[in-house]
A and B are shown apart, each in its own frame.
Chain A
């Protein structure tokens, strides 16, 4: 297969040179978490499996032909239209539909990353995955990968600089004040904690908050904690992800759960520094450009009150 590809590459190059009136397609190799993928630049028929990558493409003005349509945030609502094909759920790609769409690029998400190899049998597949080890770091890598594929590197760099400035500002402010934070998720009446090594690592690693209680181990849905834990951690700032709300169920369940004497006794509650994070941006569309802006705004909303 590989030999075949190398054989055809000069041919493809030649063809693209001949029809130079069309968008120029170069063959490039990009790196991502599932390995290396060689593909032609400027693919026309793109299928995206995640909301983060859809967000980025939308910002760049590229319309995919198919995407996962569940939990689209309001600013991506237009992809609900019938001209865009639904390609399965967040976890399960609809292989038949993807195949019939004849894509020249599939962008897998963290939730479908284990199936990247299967998907790559249909078309070149890259994984757009935000790494919990460092949100901003891996988001930049993802953006640059997209930029390289669609030859929009300059635009991407502009976005990165713009976000970098905002993040640096916040980081400086937070680090100067040595502000500590606790991040919790409410889910079906339970409370769990997330630390530096979690999907919400950006709060600590990128925005510079200190862990109110150190040593929270990594786990997809956090560590089960009691309200006592919150009380003894006594954070200055508390970030709350209401998972049920993120999925559109029970609007204020998380808020009601947290309204109790133990939580109300913390510094965060007394100073009104508890923020219900935008569930969609943090939990579902993480890695997108608009989503990253929402995340930055969420963090800032806590700080503006200081």
Chain B
């Protein structure tokens, strides 16, 4: 009940905060300018924020199960860096292509890159809770340096950084609809939740209870790649989100993935919504990119999680 109220209040504030001056009365009076702004800019932005926030958080949750590590998320397993590489690749080698080609390239790179990492993890004998994200971050940096190299060679560094910085300021009706892919992907994740949980117990355990381990891992990776590459494509890189939201939710709700998934999606949306509204207000009428705000919040929470985990162990 309280949760529903929270998102409604935030959602309303998102709908009525923006560079253009638009009053509730004008909408009710049917003023065309106000209605245009409302339906072309404000509503799509709210939907995009919710989808991106929920999608990335769910992606983080799935990734944590697949990697059997609570610090795994699209940003600590190289998925997002691979998506970036895909973007630069499309930009350089198919310069005048349409967004479908770019999307396919991003998706292909992120899925292959993540699979590679998961394969590598499975061969690793010693899986320390900190070691996995560390290797993931290193892997991400290697992929990232390749991206930077290509971008540098073709003078795309500034375009790349402008594009990477996540913000919802250019979201409008007609350019964000790809994010709806988060809905079927999240439903699929929900349906597979118990299988992911079983897989997270390890390959031999999963096989003992008659699970096609490889298939489950593959489906998990595809879900993660679809969710995070669609967000990277439309919004940009939102750091920490897939990491902190599932962890904070499991702090309060325990580790049952199927039960946690809706909460994870909800809190992901709320967090992104909060940060985006904040980013719109700070230097109004200009905007602070959401990635900047979420990095500050996320960094603090991440450090807290790491410290806390150590004291438990």
Query: Which positions in A face B, CB cutoff 8 Å?
Result: 70, 187-191, 193, 213, 221, 223-229, 231-232, 243-244, 247, 249-252, 257, 260-262, 265
Decide: A228 near B41, CB < 8 A? Known: A189-B170, A190-B169, A249-B95: yes
Q: By the criterion CB–CB under 8 Å, are B287 and A231 in contact? A: no
Check A225/B156 contact, CB under 8 A, given A190-B170, A191-B169.
no
Q: Which residues of B contact A188 (CB under 8 A)?
A: 158-163
- The answer to the question of B278 belonging to the interface, with a C-beta cut-off of 8 Å to chain A, is no
CA distance A190 to B155 in the complex (A): 17
Interface-centre pick from A221, A228, A257 (highest chain B CB count, 10 A): A228
Interface of B is mostly: loop
Q: B3-11, B116-124, B172-180: which one contacts chain A?
A: B172-180
1/0 per residue B53-73: CB within 8 Å of A? Answer: 000000000000000000000
B residues within 8 A CB of A229? Answer: 19-20, 285-286
Assuming A188-B160, A262-B37, is B170 touching A257 (CB within 8 A)? yes
Q: State whether the Cβ of B297 lies closer than 8 Å to any Cβ in chain A.
A: no
Listed A/B pairs (24) with beta-carbon separation below 8 Å: A70-B155, A187-B159, A188-B160, A189-B170, A190-B162, A190-B167, A213-B285, A221-B158, A221-B162, A224-B169, A224-B288, A224-B289, A225-B287, A226-B41, A227-B172, A228-B20, A228-B37, A231-B20, A232-B19, A232-B20, A232-B21, A247-B155, A250-B95, A262-B40
Contacts A187-B159, A228-B18, A229-B20 given; indicate if A250 touches B96 (C-beta within 8 A).
yes
Which 8 A-B residue pairs are closest in the complex by CB-CB distance?
A: A188-B163, A188-B162, A229-B19, A232-B20, A228-B20, A226-B169, A188-B159, A228-B19
Contacts of A265 in B (CB 8 A): 33, 36
- B219 CB, min distance to chain A CBs, angstroms: 30
Contact partner of B91 (CB less than 8 A), chosen from A70, A223, A228, A250, is A250
Chain A interface main SS type? mixed
The verdict on B154 contacting chain A, using a C-beta distance below 8 Å, is yes
How far apart are A256's CB and chain B's nearest CB, in angstroms? 9
The answer on a CB contact under 8 Å between A251 and B96 is yes
What is the CA–CA distance of A107 and B176 in the complex, to the nearest angstrom? 47
* Contact yes or no, B19 A187, CB < 8 A: no
Best-surrounded residue of A190, A251, A260, A262 (most CB of chain B within 10 A): A190
CA A232 – CA B287 in complex, angstroms?
15
Could you count the A-B residue pairs with CB atoms below 8 Å apart for me: how many are there? 99
Chain B 21-33: CB-based contact to A (< 8 A → 1; otherwise 0): 1000000000001
Cβ of A244: which chain B residues have Cβ within 8 Å of it? 159
Structural contact, A249 and B18, CB atoms closer than 8 A: no
Q: How far is the CB of A234 from chain B (nearest CB, A)?
A: 9
Asked if A225 and B169 sit within 8 Å, CB to CB, the answer is: yes
Complex: A118 Cα to B18 Cα, angstroms? 47
**Interface contacts beyond A227-B172, A228-B19, A232-B285: sample of 4 additional A-B pairs, CB < 8 Å, sorted by A:** A187-B162, A223-B286, A228-B37, A231-B41
- CB neighbours of B36 from chain A (8 A): 231, 261-262, 265
When distances are taken between beta carbons in the complex, the residues of chain B under 8 Å from A243 are 158-159
B33, B163, B165, B169, most chain A CB atoms within 10 A: B169
Question: Whole-angstrom distance from the CB of B229 to the nearest CB of chain A?
Answer: 15
Q: How far is the CA of A213 from the CA of B21 in the complex (A)?
A: 13
Chain A residues with Cβ below 8 Å from B161 are 188
**Which chain B residues lie closer than 8 Å to A249 at the CB level?**
91, 95, 154, 156, 159
CA of A232 to CA of B286 in the docked complex: distance in angstroms? 13
Q: Which residues of A contact B20 (CB under 8 A)?
A: 228-229, 231-232
CB nearest neighbor in A for B91: A249
Q: Is the CB–CB distance between A225 and B41 below 8 Å? A: no
In the bound complex, residues from chain B placing their C-beta under 8 Å from that of A221 are 158, 162
Closest chain-B Cβ to A264's Cβ sits at a distance in Å of 10
Q: Are A226 and B287 in contact (CB under 8 A)?
A: yes
Please state if A226 and B19 are interface contacts (CB–CB under 8 Å): yes
Q: How far is the CA of A251 from the CA of B97 in the complex (A)?
A: 10
Instruction: Tell me the bound Cα distance from A262 to B95 in angstroms.
Output: 27
Q: Which residues of A contact B33 (CB under 8 A)?
A: 231, 265
Tell me how far the C-beta of A198 lies from the nearest C-beta in chain B, rounded to whole angstroms.
13
B156 in contact with A189 (CB, 8 Å): no
* CA distance in complex: A298, B156 (Å): 26
Docked pose: A135 CA to B272 CA in angstroms: 42
